[in-house]
Amino acid sequence: MARKRTSAERQVAETIVNSLLKTNSRRNKKSSGIFVLATLLLVIFGFLWTAISPRQDGIENNELDVTEEEKPAYANEGTFPEADDEDSDSVSETRFFVPDREQVTIERCVDGDTLIVLSSSGRRERVRLIGANTPETVKKNWPVEPFGPEASAYTKSRVEEAGNIATLVSDGNSYDRYNRRLAFVYLGDDNISLNEDLCRQGLAKAETKYSFSKEMKSRLEAAARAAEREGIGIYSLSR
């Protein structure tokens, strides 16, 4: 009788243990299913969020991976000077440290306010005359503007007279967003920059909203006012 009772008790115990194990197994399967379902929902939500969220990257904002240190002061002052569209020249697209003054050889005049130069170290760069904006002549899908050809011809003749030798003087930012080097250009032994000369001849507007010295801004503005008083160049159009 004792053995039968012991055996029966063992069977009851085994039955209870097996029942508990099956219950835990069902619970584990249920928990695993819930975990998989939750993970799947999170993945779907993340994909939908990425697809519908507005992009805030630098390309949409036209910053093109320019850091705050590299970003020109123009970025905080409105529009940038337009880049010309004649880009067949294999000029450098890298920004370099540039000295305050550097003698260069001018290879070609792109238009009235843009030059292709060879620097003293042999680099080929596109130079934009800072603060002087001549009428367009080579801008893609844009008509040739009045006095644009005259401005280009004037710059070309001045460069040739100087033997294609110029001194670039940095003032403010060294490059603009188009990787054009910004400078005041002095031809030969001239004490007046080509930038100021173009304004004085009525062949360029003085663009003084950008970042360069107050002294040079005053000189460009005075030159443009003198041309306007005389009604020459672009200022003759309104008379």
* pLDDT, position 162: 97
Angstrom distance (rounded) from CA 140 to CA 134: 16
> Could you read off the pLDDT of 5-15 as tens digits, one per residue?
445 555 645 55
* pLDDT, position 79: 40
Q: Above pLDDT 70, what percent of the chain?
A: 60
> Could you read off the pLDDT of 78-87 as tens digits, one per residue?
344 555 555 4
Contact 96, 123 (CB under 8 A): yes
Judge whether 180 counts as a catalytic residue.
yes
Identity of residue 147: F
- The single residue of 128, 177, 181, 219 carrying the catalytic annotation is 128
Q: What is the overall mean pLDDT for the chain?
A: 77
Rounded to an integer, what is the distance from CA 133 to the centroid of its chain?
20
- The single residue of 125, 136, 150, 207 carrying the catalytic annotation is 136
Identify which has the larger pLDDT, 148 or 34.
148
Of residues 97, 55, 65, 60, the one with CA closest to residue 177: 65
- Assign 3-state DSSP to the chain and report helix, strand, coil percentages, each to 5: 40, 15, 45
Highest mean pLDDT among 15-24, 42-51, 209-218: 209-218
* pLDDT confidence tier of residue 180, bands split at 50, 70 and 90: very high
What value does the mean pLDDT take over residues 102-109?
97
Of residues 108, 143, 134, the one with CA closest to residue 201: 134
C-alpha distance from residue 224 to each of 9, 133, 182, 230 (Å) = 112, 11, 20, 10
* pLDDT, position 140: 86
Identity of residue 173: N
Tokens of 118: 């060879």
> Could you read off the pLDDT of 144-177 as tens digits, one per residue?
999 999 999 999 999 999 999 999 999 989 999 9
Judge whether 228 counts as a catalytic residue.
no
The vertex-188 CA angle with 111 and 222, nearest 5°, equals 65
Tokens of 89: 């020249």
pTM to 2 decimals?
0.63
Domains in the chain (CATH in brackets) are 81-236 (2.40.50.90)
Judge whether 128 counts as a catalytic residue.
yes
At residue 20, what are phi and psi to the nearest 5 degrees? -65, -40
> Could you read off the pLDDT of 39-60 as tens digits, one per residue?
667 667 665 655 554 443 332 3
Say how many C-beta atoms besides its own lie within 10 A of residue 56's C-beta.
Answer: 7
Contact 177, 128 (CB under 8 A): no
- The single residue of 126, 158, 177, 180 carrying the catalytic annotation is 180
* pLDDT, position 210: 86
